[in-house]
Structure 1
Amino acid sequence: MSPNPLTSVSMRAARWSATHPWRAIGGWLLLVAIAVGLAATVSPQEASDEDYRLGESGRADRWVHEAGLDAPDSEEVLVTADDAADGPLDQSTAEKAGARLVDAVGTLEGVDGVSEPQWNPDRTAMLISIQLARDHDDADPIVAAVADVRSDFPDLDVRQTGDLSLDDAIDERVADDLSSAEGISLPITLVLMLLAFGALIAAGIPVLLAATSVAVTIGISAPLSHLFPAEPTVTSMIVLIGMAVGVDYSLFYLKREREERARGRSTRDAVEIAAQTSGHSILVSGGAVICAMAGLFLMTDVTFNSLAMGSILVVAIAVLGSITVLPALLAKLGRWVDRPRVPLLWRLNRRLSGRLGEGGISRRVLGPVLRHPVVALIVGVAVVGALAVPALGMKTHSGNLDTLPGDIAEVQTIKAVIEEFPSEGPVAQVVVRAPADDQAAVAAQLDDLGRRAAASGMFRAPSAPVENSDDGRTSVLELAMPFEESDDEVDEALLMLRDQLVPASVDSSGAEVAVGGGPAESLDAQERMSDRLPLIIAFVLVLTFLMMVFAFKSVPIALISTVLNLASVAVAFGLMTLVFQHGVGESLLDFTSPGFVIDWIPLFVLVVLVGLSMDYHVFVVSRIREHVERGLPARLAVQRGVSETAGVITSAAAVMVSVFAIFATLSMLEMKMMGVGLSAAILLDATLVRLVILPAALVLLGERAWWPRRPRRPQGSPVVEPDPALAVAGR
């Protein structure tokens, strides 16, 4: 049988690296140094507001911006009685504080105007609005002025929020959350590696290789961001995905090399066998992750483009390091890779390996599965189906105030402002571009539109006249809706406005019309997601299917892989719906359910999960295939393949689950959703799916699993005789 091209690549790379270890190590260090230099000298280009424009709402936003009609940023200062003060708000003191604040803020650079203090109906709260100059993006001087007033009036609660201060607070919380996740994940990963190997050098190599892969990716991403503008969170995504896959790939390789050395093979032979087996698995798995992540490009969205580029790059570099510098290190270290041993952890490692290996797994899990594959398959599918059912009722919506952490002061303040000074509701903008000579006609048409919209009951009567640009070519009408931002009626109202009300009132033969505003942006994003999601799912599944066919030369194996990937994704969606839409486990995870799943999370979880779950699948199937090639019958090949990989799978799953579970502890709801969906699905995928459903399906298929041709033993390789003990266990 001709060797698999991927196997040939991994073997040639490992053979060269093991023969020239210092060149391989030096080349890797040079790559790291160049990447660090790029990160230090090239400023990344972050995505701008224009990059996020989408569909009709994006077109409306662009027209408004070009006409100079977009509202400048503003800040709000709310004055109420201090919680510690006795009695109601002292109105005279509040007015003094308001006057002081108006004087202090009004002279600041970048402030265009300050409103007179406004009282709520029962005069228990006072609001001061601060309008900023266009393109002014620094709220710090205003924050300082508000702090001075607050210190001078201790009996008052003087709080600030607004476009800039709220964004700054959210950005700071996101950075703190992700920084905390990165800081926690590294020591946890190192501890797991010590448990997996029981020796410092062996534990440190996967972590070191993953960390350097991340460093290289971050450096290369700086110049690439000028082609694909960078999302603010992409660096943290690179760190977390890079650590997960980088550690897992090194773990697979290192475990196999140690296993072969334990059988008495030389270091060089052990490295070559690891390259032939685990190296092949790493290439297939890495290719699957890259294919999955490439599906994000089909969204043609700056956020997903940035995440896709960062993820693909870090996975590709982790694969490169695993098949080059890792064999070089192992060849150079030899048996020193198991030094220095940590006595307690070394003994614990040996004990865990025994319990997770052939004895424990075969006897307690695989035994019943192999004896009763039909029952095991039915039970496994039933559990997966039960966990996936809630996904049928999944509701998605863009993030809003309800999805922000309530302990952010600016979030609390803006909610208090909305409560004390209720707004009219979500606002849609109808933007018309027409020749300046048609301005009067357009104004009349928009007035008619306002009357029709109010008569429909889905909109309030316009509270402000039509706004026109200086050149007379652009007109804007704002229509408020009497609903909460996340109500389904908001989308219904927007669709009615676009499909019925606007065409009935505005003559578009000589004009361009677009409906925009915040709610319209959310609707367009959801529609883009709904339209593209089936295409992305098909793209990801077809590519991973073809990759599995290419890697294993088996159609049934590729079909099983595709179905199991879908099962894992369905479980993740079901759990996210159950927890975040229906509120199961709110107190445990410390959040309040918004009643929906944030719209971009399902797609991101899908591609990440399809890619990462292939790690375990490819590793298990590759070991099973090895035994089939050596002449073992199908049932015993499954028995031995799953048993021999149980310890590695457990360690690899523990790394990924621990890394993503950290997300579930963070305060940002997006991070919680991603953490719960990925960690729970990967845990189930590495246990129920790969240890019950997969073996049961392969046993039932028997020799047919390797259609169109059964893997044959390479000429000259010995036939491995079945172990009688395994044969008994596998009956």
Structure 2
Amino acid sequence: MAELLYRLGRACAHRARTVIAVWLALLMASGAAFFLFSGELEGGFSIPGTPTDEVNQLRAAEFSDLAGGSGAAIYQTEDGSEFTEEQREAIADRAEQVAEVPGVADAVDPFATEAERAEGVRELEENREEIEAGQAELDAGREAAEAAGMLEQSEEFFDGQQAEIDAGMEMIEGGEALMEMSSGVGMVSEDGDTAQVMVSFTAEQMDVSQETRDAVMAVFEDHPVPGTTVDFNSDLAQSLPALFGPAEVVGLVVAAVVLVVMLGTLVGAGLPLLTALVGVGIATLIAMSLSGVLEMASVTPILGLMLGLAVGIDYALFIINRHRRQLKQGVEVGESIGLANGTAGNAVVFAGTTVLIALLGLNLTGIGFLGLMGTMGALAIAVAVVVAVTLVPALLSLRGERILSRRERARLAERASGGATAAETVRPMSTGRALLRAAVAVAALVVVALPALDLRLGMPDGSSESTDSTQYRAYTIVEEEFGEGANGTLLVIARLTGGPDEETAELNAQMDQITVAEKIYDFDDVAALAPIAFSDDFTYAAFQVVPVEGPTSESTEQLVHDLRELEPIKGTGTLGVAGVASGNIDISETLNDALPTYLTVVVGMSLVILLLVFRSVFVPVVATLGFILSFFASLGGVVAVYQWGWLGGLIGLENSGPVLNFLPTILAGILFGLAMDYMLFIGTGMREAYVHGAPSRTAVVQGFRAGRSVVTAAAIIMISVFGGFVFSHSVMISSIGFALAFGVLIDAFVVRMLLVPALMHLAGDAAWWLPRWLDRLLPDIDVEGAALETRHLHAGEGGEEPGSEREPADSAAVRG
């Protein structure tokens, strides 16, 4: 691989303008594909086969009126007074207009609904009075028959009449009970200043187009009702996060500053940024162009953007830094480009492959949207790697020695005929210091990881939106006026006993409906419920259930499980539960169940990859344990900030809540790949020094010094890029950016630079032990390209003998 990359680097340098033209053509082609084939991004997530999905399929099959998604517009009077008659009529008129929007099945006038409810109460009262009057007449008739001595002959008639009256009274009492239970399911608040206009769509919630949502909101916004405000819940006003914003630009500026400090020139700093932007532009445009044929969540291309920017800058930096170091050692430009591509570029390909495998491994979870996110992230990584080993050499060729600063070029000219630089004396750290460093690092990581024990997974809802957003206002208004649970109502479907004919089935359904409702209402965490509909054949009944607490609360989660275990009518099976809250609970639990398996796969890959690279048993174990500590410490930080709300104000987080349900899985895959990158660039220097004869503990210090500057710069750049997304208005994007930035901070500076060197020192020669039989079986990876240096650099220009004037670039850096 190293030799192939060497030749590729030289070829790209020789045909620099052609390579640049090819990449520009690819960028334009990607842009054209985006404009021609891109579609709408999804605002939510779904997993086929979950209990919620099964209930949704049953709902679509059995309840034609309930097959689509829904949303709500929340009206409130500005002065807190009751709606006037003119305002009620205007809101009803807006509901009628919305019902005519293409894609809308219906829009409910809240005041008409409340009037119908009141009429239903009056009808029940009238029916009760009629039945009670009938009972009085029947009792009088029975008494008269008894007085006339004809009771025995009329007994059958009176019993039949009594049975009808009893059945009617039972129905009345059941209806009154249903009215009582549904009293908390209101469309108009008790004080009369707030009303919900419920909008139902013809398409499923996930399939409602943004165009339809916008058209619905436009009806309400373009025709305001005087004296009122209107807001929209998150089901209707889904906000898709922007791909790029001011905070991300700040992250790039910080990365640019780090590059200038690291490389010393504006030209050198500009190249990694330029190549990263080209790579991420191509990858993001390709991903977006596939959104027309794939159901792609809004966060999917943004994840690719994050990764593409971060690793694109870092991978280019590795190659450019190696090239600059070789130029300063006197290597000719063309040869240096080839060697940098074959050594640092080889490490880039290997590092990128580890991230690629980890991201593609997300498909092993069996969760469609997560696998797609991993695939699109892997696409961004693959493009970044190819850009690094082709476009970077081409641009370096055009810049020539100007990649060095004027001072560096002058110094190079002065020492063109000089000899080898004297080696610096390197002393290993003391064992006591190593013990202290290891203890402090482990203790700090464990403490930071402790909040992860309280991890709760969920999906963002209206309460997690920005406080100035319409979704947040709608959420808080509904919570204050209708109760917490009104923001997370559940759809419950029960199977009924049915009957041999339609009339019997309908009568049984009405009785069963009351039985099921009473059993559901008995739960302490149910605030209210309302019967919605029967299926056409009266074999199913649907209910709207309002929990006591909000959609992300533990009590609502437990209620969903309790309802699914309830069999209200013996022999008809347990209840089915759906709804947005239920769907999010199912997704979170499915992801939580898949995480241990995925972590096992990632840890297994880590051990195998590091075993191949370092040819050691101890190093893979230490590196993998370090990754596990980094992962849980990162989760601990996320829980403390996003779930507990600690220091949330510093990043603009206004409301805390459960952690994004797919974040731990995404974090495991990405952090694994990045951790392997840092281990590679720190650990290979240690191995190189040890192989070249340095004592094991001295090799630890030499390798650390050789890699710390580039790893420090790379980590700061990644933290800056990921950190830019922390200030996104979308809590999904913000939490992912924070998790990755914090994870890189922990892994690079605590694990790789503090813990690993200390443990390597304590292990001594045992750190590099490998059974002989295993040594014979393992292939020689040569990630750093030492063999390539021996072939090309030592036998290069000037007829140098190996080791006569200088060592391979990394070896010299390691020893000095």
Q: TM-score, normalised by structure 1?
A: 0.83
Note the alpha carbon deviations across 1:558-593, whole angstroms, 9 max, x for none.
Answer: 222211111111110111122223322133233345
Residues 1:701 and 1:327: Cα distance change in structure 2 (over 3 Å): farther
- Equivalent in the alignment of 2:193: 125
**Which runs of no fewer than 5 residues in structure 1 stay unpaired?**
1-5, 83-87, 347-357
Contact map agreement 2:362 2:370 (CA 8 A) in 1? yes
1:650 to 704, 709, 712: 712
Contact map agreement 1:160 1:410 (CA 8 A) in 2? yes
2:73 to 65, 70, 76: 76
Supply the distance in 2 between the matched residues of 1:40 and 1:237 (Cα, whole angstroms): 21
Supply the distance in 2 between the matched residues of 1:259 and 1:49 (Cα, whole angstroms): 48
Structure exhibiting the larger radius of gyration computed from Cα positions = 2
**Which runs of no fewer than 5 residues in structure 2 stay unpaired?**
115-186, 412-422, 795-801
Supply the distance in 2 between the matched residues of 1:519 and 1:413 (Cα, whole angstroms): 17
Deviation, structure 1 residue 311: 0.7
Deviation, structure 1 residue 435: 11
Contact map agreement 1:80 1:124 (CA 8 A) in 2? no
Supply the distance in 2 between the matched residues of 1:49 and 1:581 (Cα, whole angstroms): 20
Deviation, structure 1 residue 218: 2.6
Supply the distance in 1 between the matched residues of 2:308 and 2:473 (Cα, whole angstroms): 35
What SS does structure 1 have at the residue aligned with 2:232? strand
Supply the distance in 1 between the matched residues of 2:405 and 2:326 (Cα, whole angstroms): 17
Residues 1:220 and 1:550: Cα distance change in structure 2 (over 3 Å): farther
- In structure 1, give the amino acid aligned to 2:660: I
Deviation, structure 1 residue 442: 6.6
* Residue 264 (str. 1) matches residue 324 (str. 2): no
Deviation, structure 1 residue 58: 0.6
Moved more, 179-188 or 262-271: 179-188
Aligned-residue CA RMSD in angstroms? 3.8
- In structure 2, give the amino acid aligned to 1:463: A
1:42 to 37, 40, 63: 37
Residues 1:286 and 1:433: Cα distance change in structure 2 (over 3 Å): farther
What SS does structure 2 have at the residue aligned with 1:372? helix
Supply the distance in 1 between the matched residues of 2:525 and 2:97 (Cα, whole angstroms): 42
* Residue 683 (str. 1) matches residue 680 (str. 2): no
What SS does structure 1 have at the residue aligned with 2:567? helix
What SS does structure 2 have at the residue aligned with 1:288? helix
Residues 1:8 and 1:539: Cα distance change in structure 2 (over 3 Å): farther
Q: TM-score, normalised by structure 2?
A: 0.75
- Equivalent in the alignment of 2:588: 526
What SS does structure 2 have at the residue aligned with 1:129? strand
Note the alpha carbon deviations across 1:508-532, whole angstroms, 9 max, x for none.
Answer: 4xxx963322332122112212211
Deviation, structure 1 residue 656: 0.7
- Equivalent in the alignment of 1:455: 522
Q: How does 1:414-429 map to 2 (within 5 A)?
A: 414-422=475-483, 425=486, 426-429=488-491
Supply the distance in 2 between the matched residues of 1:95 and 1:496 (Cα, whole angstroms): 43
Supply the distance in 1 between the matched residues of 2:622 and 2:700 (Cα, whole angstroms): 14
Note the alpha carbon deviations across 1:454-505, whole angstroms, 9 max, x for none.
Answer: 334344564326x223355654234433333333222222222223x12863
Deviation, structure 1 residue 164: 5.8
1:372 to 433, 442, 445: 433
- Equivalent in the alignment of 2:231: 160
Deviation, structure 1 residue 102: 2.9
Contact map agreement 2:276 2:308 (CA 8 A) in 1? yes
What SS does structure 2 have at the residue aligned with 1:554? coil
- Equivalent in the alignment of 2:467: 406
Contact map agreement 1:277 1:622 (CA 8 A) in 2? no
- Equivalent in the alignment of 1:542: 604
Deviation, structure 1 residue 54: 4.6
* Residue 502 (str. 1) matches residue 499 (str. 2): no
Contact map agreement 2:498 2:509 (CA 8 A) in 1? no
- Equivalent in the alignment of 1:32: 27
Note the alpha carbon deviations across 1:36-63, whole angstroms, 9 max, x for none.
Answer: 3322332347459795445111111122
Deviation, structure 1 residue 606: 2.1
Deviation, structure 1 residue 314: 0.7
Contact map agreement 1:244 1:655 (CA 8 A) in 2? yes
Supply the distance in 1 between the matched residues of 2:368 and 2:737 (Cα, whole angstroms): 22
* Residue 14 (str. 1) matches residue 9 (str. 2): yes
Supply the distance in 1 between the matched residues of 2:379 and 2:222 (Cα, whole angstroms): 48
Contact map agreement 1:98 1:128 (CA 8 A) in 2? no
Note the alpha carbon deviations across 1:334-363, whole angstroms, 9 max, x for none.
Answer: 2022368999xx9xxxxxxxxxxx99xx99
Deviation, structure 1 residue 536: 0.6
- Equivalent in the alignment of 2:153: none
Supply the distance in 1 between the matched residues of 2:546 and 2:571 (Cα, whole angstroms): 18
- Equivalent in the alignment of 1:66: 61
Contact map agreement 1:445 1:506 (CA 8 A) in 2? no
* Residue 490 (str. 1) matches residue 556 (str. 2): yes
- Equivalent in the alignment of 1:617: 679
Residues 1:124 and 1:428: Cα distance change in structure 2 (over 3 Å): closer
- Equivalent in the alignment of 1:282: 348
Q: How does 1:301-700 map to 2 (within 5 A)?
A: 301-338=367-404, 372-422=433-483, 425=486, 426-431=488-493, 447-459=514-526, 462-464=529-531, 467-470=533-536, 474-499=540-565, 501-502=566-567, 505-508=570-573, 514-700=576-762
What SS does structure 2 have at the residue aligned with 1:265? coil
Residues 1:545 and 1:13: Cα distance change in structure 2 (over 3 Å): farther
- In structure 2, give the amino acid aligned to 1:536: Y
- In structure 2, give the amino acid aligned to 1:31: L
Supply the distance in 2 between the matched residues of 1:72 and 1:32 (Cα, whole angstroms): 38
Contact map agreement 1:630 1:718 (CA 8 A) in 2? no
Moved more, 285-294 or 65-74: 65-74
- Equivalent in the alignment of 2:52: 57
- In structure 1, give the amino acid aligned to 2:327: R
Residues 1:647 and 1:542: Cα distance change in structure 2 (over 3 Å): same
Supply the distance in 2 between the matched residues of 1:96 and 1:478 (Cα, whole angstroms): 30
What SS does structure 1 have at the residue aligned with 2:576? strand
Residues 1:191 and 1:338: Cα distance change in structure 2 (over 3 Å): same
Contact map agreement 1:63 1:474 (CA 8 A) in 2? no
Supply the distance in 2 between the matched residues of 1:48 and 1:383 (Cα, whole angstroms): 38
Tell me the percent identity. Answer: 22
